[in-house]
Amino acid sequence: MDFKLPPGPSLLKDTLRRFVNQELIPVRSDAFMVKFFGGEKSFLAAHRCMQIHGGVSHSGGPSIERFFRDQRSMMITEGPGEVLKMALARTVLKAYA
């Protein structure tokens, strides 16, 4: 898989199916990709909500501000994208070594 092509729900479904069925194909690299793209896409969704709603999102009415802060902190605490990319590269290179 390439990082330029965003994996859709099919990657998530395939990864879950292989994990549940305990298939021999390594699931770890796909799990890294699902986690990386899930974090990126959820943050982009929160960012777009902030852009659409503007100042209203900071007024305390809707929970957009909280969602934005949660998504941003989740990207940091769950593992930055660079760390996930390095872990994925390590697993892929180990498969070819």
Q: Residue 40: what residue type? A: E
Q: What is the pTM of this model?
A: 0.63
Sign of CA dihedral 65, 4, 10, 85: negative
Q: Check: CB of residue 68 under 8 Å from CB of residue 48.
A: no
Length of the chain (residues):
97
Q: How is residue 80 written in tokens?
A: 């930055």
pLDDT tens digits for 19-61? 888 876 677 777 777 877 888 888 888 888 888 877 665 666 6
